[in-house]
Amino acid sequence: MELDEPLHPAARRRKRRNDALRGAAAALALSLPVAAAVGQSATPAGSETVEQRLQRLEQRQAELESELKQKDAEIQELKKPAAAPAAPAVAAAPATPAPAPTTQAASGPTDVAESSAEQWGSYKGFQGFKIANTDKGDLNLAIYSYVRYLNQMDLDPTYTNAFTKTSTVQRRQEVQIVKVQIKFLGWLFDEKFRYFLYAWSSNATQGQGAQVVLAGNLSYTINDYLTVAGGITSLPGVRTTEGNFPFWLNVDNRLMADEFFRPSYTSGFWIRGNLSPTLRHQAMVGNNLSTLGVSSAQLDNRLNTVAAGLIWTPTTGEFGRGFGDFENHEELATRLGLHYTHSTETKQSQPNTDNFENTQIRLSDGSVIFTPDLFGPGVTVDQVRYQMMSLDGGLKYRGAALEGEWYWRKLDQFQGAGTGVIANKRDTGFQLQGSYMIIPSTFQVYAAGSKIYGQYGQPWDVRAGVNWHPWHNRVFRWNAQVMYLDRSPVGYTSLTYNIGSKGVVFNTDFEMAF
């Protein structure tokens, strides 16, 4: 900043004070010779001597000069921010995006550059903006949301399940800001102790019990091998519940088979960490398969919901963030994951059919297993044991990705009136997803499909879509997708499809995640 440019308000105040100090110092300097001349003629009785007065004036002048130097230094410090503005919090994207490094850190890349200097509002990828930074801890604010246009008008209007019951399929056409998540995260007193607290709404389910959720978790990292945590999180029973949301090929909606088999969010304790540079683990003990819409009074007291996963990334030691090769791996990245989930569920712990993000135990025709008289007059399931296993694998190379998952589920140990006639239920299924970044870090195409093999039906779905990242990062994207569903056994209002859906569905989303 040039000297004739406007000063910071605090600098202007200090400059006025310094000018006054300089005037006082000048007046003192002029008074010294006069005082000496007067003192040569006489020394008034009862007053200080001339020498004493000169010493006092010289000492005061030295103090004023020292204070002036200190104030001048403070003014120069105030000028510095104006002279050299801090770098923008979000780095400008290059005209042609550069390819990502050969390998990425195990936690994934930072899609937006962190600002080079500590300042109010500094940004770090997907940890949001820093709004407090002290030696006792820090606080970051992050937001996730998306606006969706959904068109289900080409679905068949009715659906008949395996028990010959016909129901109406709701066909919607609407615009919604479907989900808003406001997150507060950081560390406190010890950087190994971290908190993650959030408010989460599903506006497509206005008026339902779990439409707004206040949740979070606390964790402590002991070392690279072990982090312990407690609170609410997703049971790590399939790949999409490992913690990679929202980095999926589509915006916040899973393939049919994944949605049918997976567990959901619950309260509990869990551990995670690295067993080796290429092998990591997750395990959780929770209350039930889905805590959303369930009060403590509805829970059983067994605490036997358990989910665990092992993830092996043999070639590069990482697999990027979520699905698709946004990172543009120059070396082949590979992944193999194994998951297992066990839970004894009761009908009291199952939320209502349409509750948002709810995981119901359903048959492959969409029937809830706790429905009275479902398996015959007087037969009602009050309790069932759920076991599920999944095996997934994937390849990523230079913007291309091929990723798949196989599922197996067993339902047994039925309890309730007349349940002795119910045989054990086994279902299997798979999903497969392929994608390619046509323009690195900018434009992606994908195709995917899934199928369920069950005693009460074999539903399936296929879809194709595009993703556009206008700022060459994952903070914002536009997604458009068309899908065909055949007799979906899952669905609710926050999803893009409903139970019994058969036909074409189109949706387009504008997603923000920072």
| 453-491 b/e (C-beta count within 10 Å ≥ 16 → b) | bbebbebbbbbebbbebebbbbbebebbbebbbebbbbb
* pLDDT tens digits, one per residue of 258-274: 999 999 999 999 999 99
Beta carbons of 418 and 376 less than 8 angstroms apart: yes
For position 146, what pLDDT does the model report?
Answer: 96
Please give the backbone phi and psi of residue 105, each rounded to the nearest 5 degrees, phi first. Answer: -65, 155
Sketch the domain layout of the chain as residue ranges: 9-83, 123-513
DSSP letter at 204 equals G
The top-scoring range by mean pLDDT among 59-63, 167-171, 352-356, 401-405 is 401-405
Query: Under a CB-based contact definition with an 8 Å cutoff, are residues 264 and 234 in contact?
Result: yes
pTM, full prediction: 0.76
Q: Which of 10-14, 39-43, 154-158, 210-214 has the lowest mean pLDDT?
A: 39-43
Whether 129 contacts 135, CB under 8 Å: no
pLDDT digits (tens, 9 = 90+) for 193-234: 999 999 988 887 776 666 788 899 999 999 999 999 999 999
CATH classification (class only), 123-513 = mainly beta
Highest mean pLDDT among 9-13, 34-38, 264-268: 264-268
Looking at the chain, the number of H-run helices and the number of E-run strands are: 3, 20
